[in-house]
Structure 1
Amino acid sequence: MRKLLVLGGGTAGTMVVNKLRRRLPSSDWEITIVDRDDEHRYQPGYLFLPFGTYTADQVVRKRHVFIPDGVELVLGEIDRVDAETNTVLLEGGRSLTYDYLVIASGTTPRPGQTPGMLGEQWRRTVFDFYSFEGATALAEALRSFDHGRLVVHITEMPIKCPVAPLEFAFLADAWLRERGIRDRVELVYVTPLSGAFTQPIASAQLGEMLEERKILVEADFMVERVDNEHRALVSYDERSVPFDLLVTIPLNMGADFVARSGLGDELNYVPVDRRTLRSTKHDNVFAVGDASNIPASKAGSVAHFSVEIFVANFLQLIRGLPMTGAFDGHANCFVESGDGKGLLIDFNYDTQPLPGRYPLPLVGPLSLLKETRANHLGKLAFRWIYWNVLLPGRPIPLPALMSMAGKVVPADSHAAGAPGATTEQE
């Protein structure tokens, strides 16, 4: 009996066991998945909790509901991986052996890594929304916030869903206008990046949207500490950004057991081949979803598309064949922009977000890098798709690899490796 062990029952890990349980004979394969608790949380929903769009029961379900028959769910904290003996040790002394290991332990915010962030103002005037507890606490704080300086801040990249801080700023602007108090609140967006986003075309578009909404931008800001006494962010170059209410995205890091096991980089992400997701140190270890160090967005779409490639490759590997699939870093993200509209961006390792139509040329029905009602509805519809299609590992009719179909390449752009006249690729 061969053993597949998956560490982490979040988005990527749950998809892996659902897809592989159907493909691996139960008479030949034992599949086990490990997580600390039985709570599966829809993390994209955290964005909507502070504004009352979603309620807590809409973003939390029992983890075991999504684990298929024939897969053992083990609840417990992981102490470390002994990759030399193919063994995972849990806190309390239990050990699990494996033939193949998939690390899908994700990434989490670490406010304690920034001096002062977990100080006396934590969840009083300093909040995050990258955790369930933080998002629900922020919802309470916003209800009594009616004037002052609201600062949205990114500590450092990479973070889960890199567009989420922008979405929060846009939604805050719309929410304040709906309440009739926007003119009493100064909105500031503080980022370590040189602009609104990491990619030039999207950064320019999103930067214009911030400017239109009179959201001030403090760029190239590397935070050194949170000054709780004066309620200010302080950068390494001694700039100060005061706040009345701070919504921060703390440093994101991978699981601590990855570090204890000697499998991670300085942020506890597992170094892997970016095409196959195979560990650079151990041939029978893979990392999927946010747990790996691939240079792609840490987003649900990346987990989805990369797991598709991983599953096909894994089935080849166990038959003694070369792995022929190569993940291209494909990501697409809805960007809520307020007022019942949103954008959609679609990109990969080599191609930045471009305007156009998705997923079909000309007909879409979704628009790329353009605010539309359809994109907003697509963002809301994804919650149903997540619970009912994505997690159970059912097919979604979208290509795992990014396509240039429907994308418009600006004449002066080399973003898609296709310089020249503006054309719509069909």
Structure 2
Amino acid sequence: MKKIVILGSGAGGTMVAGKLRKELNGSEWQITIIDNDEIHHYQPGWLFIPFGVYTAEDCQKPKREFIPKGVDFVFDEVVGVNPDKRQVEGKKGRYDYDWLIIATGCRIVPEEVEGMMNDWRGDIHDFYTLEGAVMLRNKMKYFNSGRVVLNIAELPYKCPVAPLEFIFMADWFFTVNGVRDNIEIELVTPVAGAFTKPIASRILGDIMIQKNIKITANYDIAKVNIDEKTIESHKGEEVDYDLLVTIPPNFGAKFIEDSGMGDPMCYVDTDHFTLKAKNYDNIYVVGDATNVPASKAGAVAHYESDTVVENLIREIDGQEPKPIFDGHATCFICSGYEKAVLIDFNYKYEPLPGKFPFPGLGPFSLLGDSNFNYWGKMMFKWVYWNMMLKGVELPLEQQMTMAGKMRQSLATE
């Protein structure tokens, strides 16, 4: 029997496993998922925990609930991969494979920033972990005056719109609690504006202005000075804070570096369009573990999973992989007050105004700040648990389409 081994059972790994199990004969192909965490986390929900919208319990379920029938689940921690031997090494054993799919996500590494760990979870917090989001909730409940600074340490990082969502939600949260006039909110980012693409950056930047949120752009953090409560850039620019909410450096899994398979940030060098590992036969990569220049987000993992499965089946059938993935990303951006903005883009085209997913009809508004978008965002949790992870087809095209988008916006920039 031939063996497919999937490392990681988050969004990408789970979706790939389900789709492969439907495509491959169970008497000929054994599919095994290896993971060292029994709990599946709805990571987009962590953003809402600091504001009391979700609890930790709202964002987690047993992983085995989503492991498809006919797929083996092995509870083990991966410590290395030997591509020459086609073997995965875990703490509990070794696992041979014919095909390997790496879906191990990424992790925050706050210790990469000098001084950050000196007051970690004191006045310096994150919401990119469940523990961090819960502890930030306790801090936010009683914060009633001072400066809240959200700093993005460097690119790439998971869910590029999450920092914007946090500052927009913070504006709403402090307003409804009657303390917004006593609090300054500032976004400190390494990019040139509110977003990496100009049209979306302008529109989102306008929302920040309306909400009296300051932005400090092109800021490359070097260290945190906890005694002075400042962050300092490599150019010596200082920003004061009372509460620092950080998006620390995001790295891939440690075993990728230990196996000599990754770039300096432990991401696997991956073909941008086929999603096959560039330097290794019989290995594909999905989700946050790749180094492709697409958003590290659940919707992207959904689109990528289709590419990985289609190309793996093609190779099993003796065909070459096709350049299918186009960097497609679809992201809701909560803006507070039960409103949200929606963006849809890929490698070639930046986010544009329009209607989604049905051209001219919507019901969602691209780059529009609307209540309907907000409810789309909130409904996504149900869709994630009950459809995406269970392999139910969604009305979302794998590749981005320009239908329904206002192309003239490109000419005005």
**TM-score normalised by structure 2 residue count:** 0.98
2:182 matched residue in structure 1: 184
State the one-letter code of the partner of 1:88: V
Q: Deviations over 1:218-257 (max 9, x none)?
A: 1111110111111111111011111111110000000000
1:191/1:221 contact within 8 Å kept: yes
1:423 matched residue in structure 2: none
1:419 matched residue in structure 2: none
Structure 1 residues 348 and 411: alpha-carbon distance in aligned structure 2, compared to 1, 3 A threshold: closer
1:421 matched residue in structure 2: none
Structure 1 residues 221 and 325: alpha-carbon distance in aligned structure 2, compared to 1, 3 A threshold: closer
State the one-letter code of the partner of 2:361: V
Query: In the aligned structure 2, how far is the partner of 1:69 from the partner of 1:350?
Result: 38
1:424 matched residue in structure 2: none
Query: In the aligned structure 2, how far is the partner of 1:268 from the partner of 1:211?
Result: 37
Give yes or no for the alignment of 1:363 onto 2:361. Answer: yes
Percent of pairs with identical residues: 45
1:312/1:325 contact within 8 Å kept: no
Q: Aligned-pair distance for 1:331? A: 0.3
1:224 matched residue in structure 2: 222
Runs (5+) with no aligned partner, structure 2: none
Structure 1 residues 184 and 414: alpha-carbon distance in aligned structure 2, compared to 1, 3 A threshold: closer
Query: In the aligned structure 1, how far is the partner of 2:163 from the partner of 2:37?
Result: 27
1:343/1:369 contact within 8 Å kept: yes
Q: Aligned-pair distance for 1:2? A: 0.6
Q: Aligned-pair distance for 1:283? A: 1.7
Q: Aligned-pair distance for 1:413? A: 2.8
Q: Give SS of 1:3's match.
A: strand
Give yes or no for the alignment of 1:104 onto 2:116. Answer: no
2:219/2:233 contact within 8 Å kept: yes
State the one-letter code of the partner of 1:182: R
| Greater alpha carbon shift after TM alignment, 342-351 vs 313-322 | 313-322
Runs (5+) with no aligned partner, structure 1: 416-426
Counting matched residue pairs gives 413
Q: Give SS of 2:18's match.
A: helix
Structure 1 residues 292 and 414: alpha-carbon distance in aligned structure 2, compared to 1, 3 A threshold: farther
1:372-391 alignment runs, 5 A limit = 372-391=370-389
Q: Aligned-pair distance for 1:91? A: 1.8
State the one-letter code of the partner of 1:130: Y
Query: In the aligned structure 1, how far is the partner of 2:408 from the partner of 2:190?
Result: 27
State the one-letter code of the partner of 2:96: T
Q: Give SS of 2:53's match.
A: coil
4+ residue runs over 4 A deviation: none
| Greater alpha carbon shift after TM alignment, 393-402 vs 308-317 | 308-317
Q: Aligned-pair distance for 1:411? A: 5.5
2:79 matched residue in structure 1: 79
Q: Give SS of 1:408's match.
A: coil
1:403 to 390, 397, 401: 401
Query: In the aligned structure 2, how far is the partner of 1:258 from the partner of 1:71?
Result: 24
CA RMSD of aligned residues (A): 1.1
Query: In the aligned structure 2, how far is the partner of 1:246 from the partner of 1:40?
Result: 28
Q: Aligned-pair distance for 1:37? A: 1.5
2:70 matched residue in structure 1: 70
State the one-letter code of the partner of 1:225: K
1:422 matched residue in structure 2: none
2:30 matched residue in structure 1: 30
